[in-house]
Structure 1
Amino acid sequence: MSSSEDDTPLVRANGRANAKSNVKSPDVKMEDASAPIANGHIDPGVSIRFGPVQDKDVNMEDAEGDARGLSKRKSRASVDQKKFYIEPESSEEEDQPLSKRRRTSVKHEDPETDDDVPLALNGRKLPKASETAIGDESDSDVPIERKLSAEKKKIEQNAAKDAKATRKPAAPKKEAKPAAAKKQTNGVKKEPLDNKAALKKVKAEPVTPKKSKGKATAVKAESEDADEKEEEDEYRWWEDPTKSDGTTKWTTLEHNGVVFPPPYEPLPKNVKMKYDGIPVTLAPEAEEVAGFFGTMLNSTHNVENPVFQKNFFMDFKDILKETGGAKDSKGNKVDIKEFSKCDFKPMFEFFDAQRDEKRNLPAAEKKRLKAEKDEQEGPYMFCTWDGRKQKVGNFRVEPPSLFRGRGEHPKTGRVKTRVQPEQITINIGKEAKVPPPPEGHRWKEVKHDREGTWLAMWQENINGNYKYVMLAANSDVKGQSDYKKFEKARELKKYIDRIRKDYQKNLKHDMMVERQKATAVYLIDQFALRAGNEKGEDEAETVGCCSLKYENITLKPPNTVVFDFLGKDSIRFYDEVKVDPQVFKNLKIFKKAPKKNGDEVFDRLTTSALNKHLQNYMPGLTAKVFRTYNASFTMGNLLREMKATGTVAEKVKAYNDANRKVAILCNHKRTVTAGHANQMEKMSERIKGLRYQKWRMKQQMLDLEPSLKKKKGASFFELDEDLDQDWVKEHQAFLMEEQTQKIKKKFEKDNEKRVAEGEKEMKASELEERLQVVKEMDKKFNKENKTGKVEAEGRGPSVEKLEANIVKLDQRVENMSVQAQDKEDNKEVALGTSKINYIDPRLSVVFSKKFDVPIEKFFSKALREKFEWAIKSVEEDWEF
């Protein structure tokens, strides 16, 4: 027997082995070929197929030749949480014998699917990695994802170097020996978790102790003359990394509870739902539910969905039974049995008219109504958290409606019932005054949970999920949560090389459970797959890495894997990737017969078991940290080598190009939006409009100085070929309509202002007089179209002024062209997902400061408030 690692038998857990039978391995042998290898694997980690999901995907067959089929995903049992608002502890299932755990419907022992049976049983051996090496392939037509593979390898090599450089040397080596002496079941050396001092030191490590110190001192010096209140408002919690490291989140907490939606107001008597053409009278509770469907008839995506219709009608009939059913105008009972006979159009027309009326309210009235609403909700907008005023996020209780869900959610269309105070639990300080519930009601419970960051919670009726009232995104508490998330990813930087080295080694581990762990970590790290949580029977059919089903993976030799499943929020994940040959081989083993559609690929693994394994490397490490780490580390590397030059628009494009690489490498993609083509067409029209303005200015130059035609040449003054006369006339009509709308809006605003100040409104004749400008434009355009000449416009026109304006227009055209190209490049990539959730916001701040680009170009006002800690805590030399 060869001494190769591949030939190592999968030893039974109880130590027994049977080596008498003589069955050959069914593994397909693949031709050996030289190929560049990085980190022990060949060109993996980058998607081959990247882009919008096609409606008709070609049906492929996997390596065993079984046709791919789709079946309903078999679900694991949901976890029973003792304390529903705290994540459950990791499962101990992996420590139990397989006979006491779930397994596929296989009673016989199989050396390639049972971790209790040696692979060497009956002479079977795993093929060597060299047998499945990939040959050279043509570089023609290679998409960006493949070209980025070399960049990904380089980034991973940098990660390994950084890990060695940042890792603390001496202490861990001495303390690791006792842990290593005890044999680990997962074959991974454990970090010394019992060293409380070491853990405390890790938690207390500041983000940028040296680099932020200078700025902090400067800010402090500048604010010396400010009053005490302003100094308090400038509380820089991020410079105190030990803040809120323990489980106690607050000492004192005061708030005013929640805002309930207004009670239902019955419709006018002339507005009724019809059944089989007959208007019917419903009890208010049933009428409200019918109105939920009636108000959204314009949302065809939902109301024309058969599942949505079925679920709504099922709940609607139940409410009809509870409330006495429907009656016609004579009081006779109408039995509503068929959804197709229900007509909600009268309701829709009423609600649509209400929407139009609200939309067309004068600006002053809208402002007044908003001020009234803000005054009513003012007491609920803020709480006092440890003596500091903090903004509350979602203090409004969700109103009743129809559940929509995302993607292909099985419960779409179900009725979300009205939440009553008796369902709501309040969390508040012991010494604080408990907010009173609405009259005639009581709270479900009042808690004083100082470990929780929620102010109120309730359980919704659709999925049984708990809804929480939390602090706003720009609050200290939320900021600390984001800060810790990115610091956790920075901590992973110290251990990533060990983790990658170990999972590469364990891809060939003797025990099947260890192979599955290694393969899962590889997929999560290299392709940014989510771990995937256990699901109940009535939950959306979504999966992640650990819960992938047989039909979700198609194998195409020599080493291509096709993933096709519903991911988070029921959004379809479809990708074709090249993987390490050993990973391909493992997936082939994990899918081996008698497994079939509906069976789990990683049948020896759960998310909790995987996270428990990862915590052997680093305290608090879970699968989701890899996405944040990979995105941030990749962006940090790109930023380090970037030399953004040119205009602000060009620098923003350089940033977006880097962000796009991160999104592609980390698999943050989206389907092309329905309105993308229309948006691109509008941008194209705007650019053409600017070019038309340039032509008009050049013609005005000729009007002032005809001799310029000889000096500059006739071609300088010609109209661009794509701006033909038909387009010019259409554009002129657009310009006149645009001007008309501007004048009308200005007239309305001026009238509202006069009314507000107690003056008389202007007459319609004033509007007609203002619109004379448009009529003059029409005459001017007609004359220009006939003569081909443009008269000089404006006060004191000169050739010099016109030339300066042309230079400005050229800059605008260039900027807009850059923006259009940027938008087109990003149509299939979710840049927002990467920038907001996965790339450390401090890296965006570094780019802003390093290349002198306003932070407003990257973060909206809401995001600037959310990431205030990042904006104020780093300078341009900070590194992830």
Structure 2
Amino acid sequence: MDGEIKWESLEHNGVIFPPEYEPLPKSVKLIYDGKRVSLPPDAEEVAGFYAAMLETDHAKNPVFQKNFFNDFLKVLKESGGCKDADIKEFSKCDFSVMFAYFEQKRGEKKNLSAAEKKAIKLEKEAFEEKYKTCLLNGRKEQVGNFRIEPPGLFRGRGAHPKTGKLKRRVKPEDVVLNLSKDAPVPPPPEGHQWAEVRHDNNVSWLAMWRENISNSFKYVRFAANSSLKGMSDFKKFEKARELKYHIDVIRENYKKNLKSQLMLDRQIATATYLIDVFALRAGGEKSEEEADTVGCCSLRFEHVTLKPPNKVIFDFLGKDSIRFYQEVEVDPQVFKNLRIFKKAPKKPGDDLFDRLDPSILNKHLQNYMPGLTAKVFRTYNASKTMQDQLDLIKNEGTVNEKVVKFNAANRTVAILCNHQRTIAKGHEAGVTKIQDRIKEMVWQKIRFKKMMLQLDKKLLKKNPKFFEELDDISKEDEENIHKVIIEREKDKWEKKFIRDNEKRKLEGLEPLPKEELKEKLDKVKELEKEYKKELKTGKPEVKPSNITVEKLEAQIEKLDQRITNTTLQLKDKEDNSQVALGTSKINYIDPRLTVVFSKKFNVPIEKLFTKTLREKFNWAIQSADENWRF
């Protein structure tokens, strides 16, 4: 609750600012209208932000280009303009030289040796160490994001109207610190001063500043695994649990009020129905500058299409500019109400709920339960749905099969909450990689079966079904698999040789002789010859000499299990390609339900929660047993 004291004492070391801009080498320039031009450092930095992204989908988006160029021209004007050209047209700008330079730098960074990468990492960690923790009531606690976001171009999610705009550099003069009166104030970077130093123990942030894209505040808070954040999560989910004692009365009342003579009551009832049944967000006021995203209370005439007798098509941009599109059946009275709310003289652009906003709705909800808001419904319905889904799962199958079932339950919640995501760029390549892995395991299995027949020809008559798949892999596929394995083996030994020599260099030892690598690569060449012979004859060489039918059968059994697990992994990847499971798991599903599933179905919690989430939800892991219910 606001106004409550969050801490008695708070001491911290402030924030880390991104490094100052380093101008590009003199040979790296923007080309304008075919001519290399020099830019003032501030403008060069902004041009560099775009150049570095040249090959991305963002940089090819006309809205992104327009917003970037407008902001670039502003910065160029502020910093004194370009002495070599009058830059006015985006189409005359050529960023290729800058892009090539950034690509070269990326390549150099990628090609650093493991030892160099490790040294850089250690140096970075040593520098950040003192910012990672703070003293909260005299106790050491982790700090969340203590780094100030570097300047860059805003990407935004979905069709964001501000995509491409410049996120300006945050200076110490923009940052407000919050700590105890008697705590030492961290010194600002040399030549700078803090905007303000506060001592407000009614808030749980350590630093804040206003960002320029949406003019909203950004905060440095305690880490997700801190006691304060854990308590806040616990209270949030307990508030949602409390709703179960009031939900029947709320539903009874809103069903009754769907026919109310008072238009405001009818709008409140209809909105509560939509928020409860379809997990719509409440939706608040937006300025003209912001993305045209809406929620239930801010739905407009054009966002709702009615199909008699009781079908409704919702089509609007929700939070983060993610499209919400659903065709649903609604209560007949809700359908009638929506028709009334759309009645002439209303037209596109007009509010559907013209008497209602989230504050009126939330004030009404407080009558049922203290602290009840539209958002609590979303958490309640997400957790209740997850509980119902978990109740349907049978305790059978392997751990991997159970994880797939858990993800399917999680997916049901994510779909309810409209947690969509665009298919990742690397999705198709990832799917192909898994399919190739399965194909290689099937090939290996067939190979072992062929070896079994070489050891005992009678096996084919004894168990013909077992040997049915011998021709399932074509010669062409087999040849491709051979190539992949050979390349992988070469790559493995070459990388190991480099790694071992780097390690020896650090230890002050002589590098390994090249003959050692040659010896390994000669063995790979032998394997290549063996595969060529195998491809001609169709008979793999049975090695080692002590191999038996029983040993090969055991290997085939292991491969069968791996094929099953990898096929499940593939199905899971496909099913989750357009649904984001993380948001619902982190923010809407009571974490104790995940813990219940882990304990009841003997699935290690590591399979369900990442290390970060295990730390964040440690309170849930410690408090819930297998019989806990939401």
Same fold (TM over 0.5): yes
SS state at 2:457 partner: coil
- Pairing of 1:804-843 with structure 2 (within 5 A): 804-843=554-593
Residue identity in the other structure for 2:61: N
How far did 1:817 drift?
A: 2.1
Give the drift of 1:672. Answer: 4.3
Residue identity matched to 1:749: R
Identity fraction in percent: 62
Structure 1 contact 524–545 (Cα < 8 Å) conserved: yes
Unaligned runs of 5+ in 2: none
Counterparts of 2:198 and 2:309, CA distance in 1: 59
Q: Does 2:42 match 1:280?
A: no
Match of 2:201 in 1: 450
Partner of 1:729: 479
> SS of 1:446's equivalent?
strand
Ranked by relative contact order (alpha carbons within 8 Å, sequence separation 6 or more), the top structure is 1
Residue 391 of structure 1 and its aligned partner are, at CA, apart by 0.9
Tell me whether 485-494 or 797-806 shows the greater mean CA deviation. Answer: 797-806
Alignment correspondent of 2:134 = 383
**Deviation at residue 666 of structure 1 after TM alignment:** 4.5
Structure 1 residues 864 and 733: CA distance shift in structure 2, 3 A:
same
Structure with the largest fraction of helix = 2
1:556 corresponds to 2:340? no
Q: CA deviation at 1:664?
A: 3.6
Q: Is the aligned partner of 1:460 residue 2:460?
A: no
Q: Deviations over 1:54-112 (max 9, x none)?
A: xxxxxxxxxxxxxxxxxxxxxxxxxxxxxxxx98xxxxxxxxxxxxxxxxxxxxxxxxx
Alpha-carbon distance in 1 for matches of 2:388, 2:143:
37
How far is the alpha carbon of 1:403 from its aligned partner? 1.5
Aligned amino acid, residue 265 of structure 1:
E
Residue by residue, what CA displacement relative to the aligned partner does 1:647-679 show, whole Å, maximum 9, x if unpaired?
A: 111221222232233334444444544544443
Quote the Cα distance in structure 2 between the aligned partners of 1:633 and 1:317: 52
Q: Give, as a single letter, the amino acid of the residue that structure 2 aligns with 1:257.
A: G
Alignment of 1:262 onto 2:19:
yes
The Cα shift of 1:747 comes to 1.4
**Following superposition of structure 1 onto structure 2, how do residues 220-259 of structure 1 map, counting pairs within 5 Å?**
247-259=4-16
Amino acid at match of 2:481: H
- Contact 1:632-1:838 at 8 Å conserved across structures: yes
Alignment map for 1:753-772 (pairs within 5 Å): 753-772=503-522
Question: Residues 652-667 of structure 1: matches in 2 within 5 Å?
Answer: 652-667=403-418
Task: Give the distance between the partners of 1:313 and 1:545, measured in 2 at CA.
Answer: 35
**How many residues end up aligned between the 2 structures?**
630
Q: How does 1:732-811 map to 2 (within 5 A)?
A: 732-794=482-544, 796-811=546-561
- Cα deviation digits, residues 153-196 of structure 1 (max 9, x gap): xxxxxxxxxxxxxxxxxxxxxxxxxxxxxxxxxxxxxxxxxxxx
- CA RMSD in angstroms comes to 1.7
Superposed displacement of residue 764, structure 1: 3.6
SS of match in other structure, 2:245: coil
Q: Is the 8 A contact 1:590 1:601 kept in 2?
A: yes
2:376 equivalent in structure 1: 625
Deviations 1:743-795 (A, max 9, x none): 12211211111111111222444322211222112111111111111122247
Q: Which runs of 5+ in 1 are unaligned?
A: 1-85, 88-245, 329-333
- Give the TM-score of the pair, scaled to structure 2: 0.97
Give the Cα–Cα distance (whole angstroms) in 1 for the partners of residues 17 and 474 of structure 2: 59
Aligned residue identity for 2:523: V
Native 8 Å contact 1:700 1:793 kept in 2 = no
Q: 2:262 aligns with which of 497, 511, 519?
A: 511
1:634 aligns with 2:391: no
Equivalent residue letter for 2:66: K
After superposition, give the CA deviation of every residue in 1:437-467 in whole Å (9 maximum; x if it has no partner).
1111111111001011100000111211111
1:825 deviates by 3.3
Pick from 516, 520, 529 the counterpart of residue 280 of structure 2.
Answer: 529
Look up the SS of the partner of 2:354 in the other structure.
coil
Cα gap change, 1:247 to 1:848, in 2 (>3 Å): same
1:324 to 67, 80, 90: 80
- Rounded to whole Å, the distance in 1 between the matches of 2:420 and 2:82 is 48
Bigger-Rg structure (1/2): 1
CA contact (8 A) 2:300 2:350 kept: yes
Partner Cα distance (2:178, 2:629) in 1? 39
Task: Determine the C-alpha separation between the residues in 1 that align with 2:51 and 2:104.
Answer: 13
- Name the CA shift for 1:413/1:657 in 2 (closer, same or farther; >3 Å): closer
CA–CA distance in 1 between the matches of 2:242 and 2:137?
Answer: 29
Q: Does 1:302 align with 2:58?
A: yes
String of CA shifts for 1:397-421, please: whole Å, max 9, x gaps: 1111111222222222111111111
Q: Which amino acid aligns with 2:68?
A: F
**1:473 matched to which residue of 2?**
224
Deviations for 1:270-301, whole angstroms, at most 9, x for unmatched residues?
A: 111110111101111111111111111121x2
Q: Is the counterpart of residue 574 in structure 1 residue 325 in structure 2?
A: yes
Name the counterpart of 1:222.
none
* CA distance in structure 2 between the partners assigned to 1:817 and 1:587 by the alignment: 46
Contact 1:630 1:666 in 2 (8 A): no
Q: CA 1:296/1:671 → structure 2, altered by over 3 Å: closer, same or farther?
A: closer
Q: Hey, what's the Cα distance between the residues in 2 that align with 1:790 and 1:630?
A: 58
- Residue 722 of structure 1, CA deviation: 4.2
Aligned-pair CA distance for 1:720 = 4.8
Q: TM-score, normalised by structure 1?
A: 0.70
1:875 pairs with 2:608: no
Deviations 1:568-619 (A, max 9, x none): 0011111111101110110010011111111110011001111111111111
